[in-house]
Amino acid sequence: SPPQGYYTRRGGVGESGDFITSPEISQVFGELIGIWYISEWMAMGKPSTFQLVELGPGRGTLTEDILQVFKQLASVLSKCDVSVHLVEVSPKLGEIQAVMLTGGKVQPNPEDEPAYMKGVSKTGIPIFWYRDIQDVPPGYSFYLAHEFFDALPIHKFQRTEKGWREVLVDIDPEAPDQLRFVLSPSRTPATQNFIQPEETRDHVEVCPEAGVIVQRLASRIEKDGGAALVADYGHDGTKTDTFRGFRNHKLHDVLSAPGTADLTADVDFSYLRKMAEGRTATLGPIKQQEFLKNMGIDLRLQVLLQNSGDTATREQLLNSYDMLMNPEKMGDCFNFFALLPHHRLVHPDKKDKPESKSPLPPVAGFNELLLK
Ligand code: SAH
C-alpha cells in the first residue's frame, strides 16, 4: 500500500530500525556474495557485459559491499561492462540507497523512462532504480534477493474436516478497532488455486507474488543468461505457521497497528523450485553457515583478524561471525538458493558423449550433493 504500507512508509532495516539483516551485521557477508557473482561470471565464460539486479536492497549495504569487491577485482573485470539495477518500492529506502551508493548524486528520470532514478556509484558504475522487476531491461543478469521474498504478502490455509479453508483477516465484532483471524466458511479461489494436490501439511502459507517473480527471473535467465541468488529465512516445504511481525527488534502482534511493523513469513523454497521448474536448474536451499563456509568465510575472518590492531575491532569481527554462522542465531534458519541455466550444471551433449568436454566447474557455495 503506497500510503499505509510498512515499507513505503517506515521500512526500518538496520540497528535503529525494526530488524537487522546479515549485510548490516558484517561486510564479510556482502564480500562473499560479490565473490560468488565473479566466480559464476568466470565459470560462464566471462561475458562482456552483465547487470547486477537486486530486489529489495534495503539500505543498499549489500550492493555497496559487492561493489567494493568488484573494485578490488577491477583487473579481472576490466573488459566487462557492469551496471547495477535496483528494484525498490520504498521512496525512503531508495533515498538511503542513493546516499550509500552514490553519495547522493542521483537524478530522477522522466515518467516515460522504465527507471525512476539513476546515478553513478562511488566506484564509477551506473545505477538505476525501478519499482518492478519487469521494468529492468533484458540482458545477461545476476539477480540477488536477500530478505526480499519473506517481505511479500502470503495467503494462509488451514486443513479442516470439511477441506481446505483460507485464513482471513476480519474486524473483531467485540472490539471494532481490532482485527482477528477467521476461517473462510467455504473454499475460496485461493484454496482452489494455491494448494498443491500432494500437500501433506495441515497449515500452509503460500506467497503467489514470490512465485510470479521467480517465474520471471527463471524466464529471463533462460532467455538472456545469468543466475539468481536468493537468501532468506526459509524451509523446504516443511514448516507451517511462520507469519510474524517485528517492531523495534521485538516480536509484534501481526494484527495490531497495521503498517507499523515488519511483517514476515518464512520462504517456502520448495514452492520457488516448482515455479522455476522447466526453465532453469536450481541449487539448494543450503544453510547459511554451510554456504558461507564453502565461500571461505573462515579464511576471510583470519585475514581480517590479523589485519586488525585493536581488541574492540577483533571482538566485533568475532561477534558478527558468530551471529552469521551460529546455528542458534542466523546460521541454520537462513538459506541460500540459486537459479542457474541448465547448461551451467550439465553439458548439453553430456548424455551422448560424456567424455567430450572438460568437467564444468562446481558452483561456489553449494555442495555438489545438493544438486537438484
Ligand atoms: N535486502 C536488504 C533489505 C531487506 S528488507 C537487506 O537484506 O538488508 C526488504 C526490502 O524489500 C526493502 O528494501 C523493501 O522496501 C523492499 N520491498 C518490499 N516489498 C517490495 C516490493 N513489492 N517490490 C520491491 N521491493 C520491495
Report the side by side order of strands in the sheet with 244-247. Answer: 250-252, 244-247, 262-264
Question: Domain 6-153+207-344, what architecture?
Answer: 3-Layer(aba) Sandwich (3.40)
Count other C-beta atoms under 10 Å from residue 106's C-beta. Answer: 20
CB 191 within 8 A of CB 165: yes
How far, CA to CA in Å, does 303 sit from each of 32, 136, 298, 309, 314?
Answer: 14, 37, 9, 12, 11
How far apart are the CA of 55 and the centre of ligand 1, in A?
7
Q: Is residue 369 scored above 50 in pLDDT?
A: no
CA torsion 9-62-96-140 (nearest 10°) is -90
One-letter amino acid of 338: A
Count other C-beta atoms under 10 Å from residue 39's C-beta. Answer: 16
Q: What is the pLDDT of residues 154-181, one digit of tens each?
A: 999 999 999 999 999 999 999 989 999 9
**Hey, CA dihedral for 218, 151, 17, 248, is it positive or negative?**
negative
How far apart are the CA of 153 and the centre of ligand 1, in A?
12
User: Where in the chain is CATH 3.40.50.12710?
Assistant: 6-153+207-344
If DSSP codes are grouped into helix, strand and coil, which group holds residue 10? Answer: coil
Average of per-residue pLDDT across 309-323: 95
**Hey, CA dihedral for 131, 132, 136, 140, is it positive or negative?**
positive
Q: Name the residue of 4, 8, 13 to mutate for ligand 1: max ligand atoms within 8 A of Cβ.
A: 13
How far apart are the CA of 92 and the centre of ligand 1, in A?
11
More confident residue, 260 or 128: 128
The C-alpha atoms of residue 324 and residue 328 are separated, in whole angstroms, by 10
- Ligand 1: atom nearest CA of 11 is 15
How far apart are the CA of 11 and the centre of ligand 1, in A?
8
Residue from 114, 130, 135, 38 nearest 80 by CA? 38
- Ligand 1: atom nearest CA of 54 is 1
Quote the pTM value: 0.95
- Ligand 1: atom nearest CA of 145 is 1
How far apart are the CA of 163 and the centre of ligand 1, in A?
35
Q: What is the pLDDT of residues 79-96, one digit of tens each?
A: 999 999 999 999 999 999
Residue from 54, 55, 52, 61 nearest 20 by CA? 61
pLDDT at 372: 39
One-letter amino acid of 228: A
Who contacts 73 (Cβ-Cβ below 8 Å, separation ≥6)?
38
Task: Pick the range with the lowest mean pLDDT from 33-42, 337-346, 354-363.
Answer: 354-363
Q: Crossing angle of helices 27-43/311-325, nearest 10°?
A: 60
pLDDT at 82: 98
CA torsion 36-18-265-217 (nearest 10°) is -40
How far, CA to CA in Å, does 213 sit from each of 5, 100, 148, 195, 216?
Answer: 20, 26, 11, 18, 5
Pairing of strands 155-160, 250-252: unpaired
Q: Is residue 276 scored above 50 in pLDDT?
A: yes
Pocket of ligand 1 (CB under 6 A): 7, 11, 13, 21, 23-24, 56-58, 62, 87-90, 93, 146-148, 151
